[in-house]
Structure 1
Amino acid sequence: MPDNPWLAVTGGTAGPGYAERFATLAAEGADLHGEARRVHALLDGTPSDVLDAGCGTGRVAIHLAELGHRVVGVDLDASMLDEARRAAPGLSWHLRDLTALDLGQRFDLVVGAGNIWPFLTPGTHARVLARLAAHLRPGGLLVLGFGLGPEHVPTSLPDDVAVPDLHAYDTAAVGAGLHLHTRTADWDGAEPYTGGGYAVSVHRRGSTAP
């Protein structure tokens, strides 16, 4: 299997730098919780079971827990999870490869808020969506936001890795038994997606899923 682009670029040591950057942004008054607010709204504010796939340093998962949700975070990068555990030791954090994810439980919503789609190992995208869908309860939601070109992905991809487009994403979603619910150009859910460089897609698992 090809190398994972995220680990290839960062060497699996990005955690401390990410934690420091977001701490600085928070101290400067930046709004860091748009993704969590969108998830909370999609769940109608009802305390729910949420899986944060590619949770990184835990920024989104921790705020969702503060909003009353039961959150589990998974990531491939141990250095990022170290920061998440340091920030919120009471939450459930798992070092996992999404291509073989099996937590033995299902969730009301799965969120991927950190450009995980472009950084998946090449050739595994459909498999990852299938694994995420398998963790949804019937009628559950999958919410992923990601850039659609190099200029919209904050961390540079390796030169030989292309950013998969929305057609590839939607094709994989259909194959995983998911149906497009809504798509916007931002995490606020206010700007309809009309073909720009960033999209937030909300897919729903069929209500008759096994």
Structure 2
Amino acid sequence: MGKPTRWVTDTKPGHSQWYVDRFRQLAAEGADLAGEARLLDALVAPGARILDAGCGTGRVAAALAARGHTAVGVDADPVLIDAARTDHPGPRFLVADLAELDLAAQDEPEPFDAAVVAGNVMAFVAPGTERAVLTRVAAHVRPDGLVVVGFGTDRGYPLTGLDADAVAAGLRREHRFATWDLRPWHDDAEFAVTVFRKPA
């Protein structure tokens, strides 16, 4: 692993288990936890291969697998990966640092049709590694594939930075929305969902 992520340095001890418990409770209450997966499902062909980068407790990868896709979830936090494996036995879940991502070394050499980076992941990576994260994620996506990134606009990573880092990673921006259910983008939106494509 490389530099400690903000998930480690900017949260209190026990935060990972709190996060696991929170999403288990939300699932038990019947909360809608599949919005990101619905969008990805609409963007790709049936039976696509999708990388859930920064998968956390695995909810997005699980929802994608339930829709017939092959989903692989990756997160740097072993507590979250353990929970994902326990709660969602369908997808494959791996511990890995997104800034140094090399899934071929973990027996996942096949490229992905798309990658999703949801749940404020980009705001929690190690400071200064945002471009490396996007570059490594993009490297795992096939030409003409998609990288979809969503995070709160108040999280300290400006959209100008995201766009510049994406260009440096070889991605082209196609769409930006204010929510995962495709509400129109506006400059004072509290959330941004950006669809990038890796040129063919």
TM-score, length basis structure 1 = 0.86
Dislocated runs of 4+, deviation >4 Å: none
Is 1:31 matched up with 2:32? yes
Secondary structure class of the residue paired with 1:149: coil
Q: Does 1:99 align with 2:99?
A: yes
- Secondary structure of the residue that 1:118 maps to in structure 2? helix
Mapped contact 1:54–1:116 kept (Cα < 8 A): yes
Name the counterpart of 1:144. 149
Counterpart of 1:3 in structure 2: which amino acid? P
2:48 match? 48
1:6 pairs with 2:11: no
Stretches of structure 2 that go unaligned for 5 or more consecutive residues are none
Q: Match for residue 193 of structure 1?
A: 185
Give the Å deviation of 1:2.
5.3
| Equivalent in the alignment of 1:156 | none
Matched letter for residue 129 of structure 1: L
Aligned pairs (5 A) from 1:82-161? 82-104=82-104, 105=109, 106-150=111-155
For structure 1, the residue ranges without an aligned partner over 5 or more in a row are 151-162
CA shift for structure 1 position 93? 1.0
Specify the SS of the correspondent of 2:167: helix
- Judge conservation of contact 2:112–2:142 (CA < 8 Å) in 1: yes
Given the two structures, how large is their TM-score scaled by the length of structure 2? 0.90
- CA distance in 1: counterparts of 2:131 and 2:13, whole angstroms: 24
Identify which range, 115-124 or 24-33, moves more after superposition: 24-33
How large is the Cα RMSD of the aligned pairs? 1.6
Structure 2 counterpart of 1:165, from 158, 181, 189: 158
- CA separation in 2, counterparts of 1:136 and 1:169? 18
CA distance in 2, matches of 1:82, 1:124: 25
- Find the aligned partners of 1:2 and 1:78 in 2 and give their Cα distance: 16
Per-residue CA deviation, residues 153-202 of structure 1 (Å, 9 max, x unaligned), is: xxxxxxxxxx120000000111111111111000011x111111210000
Amino acid at match of 2:82: D
Change (3 A) 1:10 1:37: same
- Equivalent residues, number: 193
